[in-house]
Structure 1
Amino acid sequence: MDDIPLSTRLIVLAVLLLLSGFFAMAEAAMMVANRHRLRQLAKEGHRGAQLAARLLDRTDRLISLSLISKTLINAAAAILTGHIALTLLGAEKWTPAIGILLITFCLLVFSEITPKVIGAAYPDWLTLRLGYILTPLQRISAPLVSFINLFVGALLKLLHLEAGSGHGAQRISPEDLRAMVLEAGHFIPQQHQSMLLNLFELERIEVDDIMTPRGEIEGIDLQAPLEEIHQQLVTSFHTRLLVYDDDPGNVVGILHQRRLLAAALAGELDQAALREQVTEPYFIPAGTTIYAQLQFFQKNRQRVGLVVDEYGEILGLLALEDIIEEIVGKFASGVPGNKTLAWSGDEGNQENGAATALVDGACTLRELNRELNLDFPLDGPNTLNGLILEHLEDIPEAGLSVRIGGVPMEIVQAQDRRIRMVRIFRPPLAEA
């Protein structure tokens, strides 16, 4: 070793440090690479992605290759550093310590920290190119890696642990997808991000949460005078109406107003014509998730259904549009009362709760939480009316104030044993 020039030994040491850094960078890049994008590129025929995907299918061999290579290179670098230190400093007592400190510093800076930071910063770009280098190296070192893995496997069995391929077979969960969408907020428009997040909620939300309650359903009574029915059809904002006979619970079916056009033009619109154009009602069991109901609507070619409880009593009406609105948000329409929920009032004093929102008692708690950034409980009643009645255990009168979940509110109108209108005061910590 002493016969080799010092400059040559320094060059060899630099090369060893670079080689060690290469394997550290490769290990970091391969471990944090986007495996789903990698598999997609591999399916599209990208050669580098195919090689990298094969390597990641057996991460135990990949890690073994990296560790064996780094261990051998670092050992050689340490020995070479010792000889360089003896040449430069002589055979002093503190020479070995200087050599240890020097090689430790060089390995940390040039062979560990810096390469791994680079690998973690550009994993996708590096992974597509590292496969061309690591694949032949893995084939060459396969006998040595297999020999060492024999001892590793025996030790794992002794510890009652199982060796697997690791990340190569990982699956992404809905929670992982949701987290990815949230983290990608800077790259996805807010409206698109909101739609994607709503999709993850489809299996958690039930039809009871978004249906139109029974008391809010617009229907036609076949026992009503014909003039009244005509007026109702002319002024209705809905294309499909519930038809019942005398009692709203005695449902005859669903009427699509378009089917009445010919009879109306011919002047033959009466109760009998209405009965002929009514289609059989489609019933939905309460508690059905809206994801399942969306599939049922598609399978049965239905757009409207009546939600019923276990006794067959009608609870409300659900339309396909209700599910679509749950995904994409509320549609702007000319239907009276279909207003966007928002705080209004003294904008300068909103922090003191001066801002208010006038809300229909039939409004769902989920919509209030989402639009007004409140935190009403969702494990009980579905509507604001139900929440207040449950809290008071009585039917209140107009003018009564109450605080639920830290949110002050005032009952503006109560009629027919129901709370019709509520003024909600913005709590100090809520943000519009």
Structure 2
Amino acid sequence: METIESMKRISRKNIISPKGFKAVGIHCGLKHKKNDLALLVSEVPASVAGVFTTNVIQAAPLQVTKKVVNETQKMQAVVINSGNANACTGKQGMQDAITMQQKTAEHLGIDSDLVGIASTGVIGEQMNMVPLLSGIEKLQPMDTLEGSIQFSQAILTTDTVTKNTAYATVIDDREVVVAGVAKGSGMIEPNMATMLGFITTDAHIESEHLQTALKEIADVTFNSITVDGDTSTNDMVLVMANGLAGNHSLTPDHREWQSFIDALHAVSRDLAKMIAKDGEGATKLIEAKVTGAVSDEQARQIAKSVVGSPLVKTAVFGCDANWGRIIAAVGYSGATIDPEDIKIYIGDTVVVEGGEPIPFSEEKLLIYLKQHEVKFAIELNQGAGQGMAWGCDLTYDYVQINATYRT
């Protein structure tokens, strides 16, 4: 794939940048003050793809949306609430999710099986349907910057910032735009995507090929981040492609298929890194790059083991160049390694080579580790596999946030 730098990142980096999309976010009353209800709409039914949490316990909204993706394979709108996950809420929770879907369809004048829904917030509490249904009636999506900003704010929970990105490419002499917005800060240990992510594009592509592309890209982006090792019950990434760019239908045989893949990958990677960087209480983004592994899959496995290690995360928080924690995480990753072939960098400083320590300047690495982005490179010399993963440091604030989440 092309590097992100070679893609055309556009200034209008919001969820409605592609042709034919509108969005809005409002406060309906599920939260005390902040926006808590959002709606994204395409002018026409769009091809859709989705990846979902692999937690066996799956919230009612996720089940409803998965049915739309798998059976209808088209989506024209998605409505999202924050403040309540509608998870572990039994038969009433499922009925509430269906009612939420049907009410949105009725409001927009479209079939209910073209509506996806998502919820995020506290688990195990019944949804307060009175303000939610009243709020749906007030949703008026806009093709303006204001609407996209409201949307990105309304889906947040413990996030400290909104997360938006967009790229443009040219396919069949037509500009094709891919844009995304996400929320995610805690309970991030993806396996088929653990967050809420919504990606829009005006590319013409059938759902079957869109699903294949998303699954492959999710494995190296959304599934390569970790904040705290917890996999949630509600989380998904959806891609809607409405075809309004006017290109010929994209398939893996299309001569410019890779251009679309590069744009989708760039958006997904941006969002994944933003989520990792905004981990609850986090002060630093951690990146681990592994080369020379037996396979790409094992390289990502090792990289994720490193960025997910509580000891590595706390060492980064404390600006401690304790490479022993890095090599230990490599060792217990379950991947194939030879300790005598390992080389480790912290930033551009070699700290381990041939499995043995290399003298380094503690002062130099102290300065480096105070930066907001910290990079580790691990060379294994076992094969051609390579991969990356992203995480964040573990701070006092993470404990405080999660000790008082419901209160």
TM-score (norm 2): 0.21
Greater helix content: 1
Structure possessing the higher relative contact order (Cα contacts under 8 Å, 6 or more residues apart): 2
**Structure with max Cα Rg:** 1
Greater strand content: 2
TM-score (norm 1): 0.20
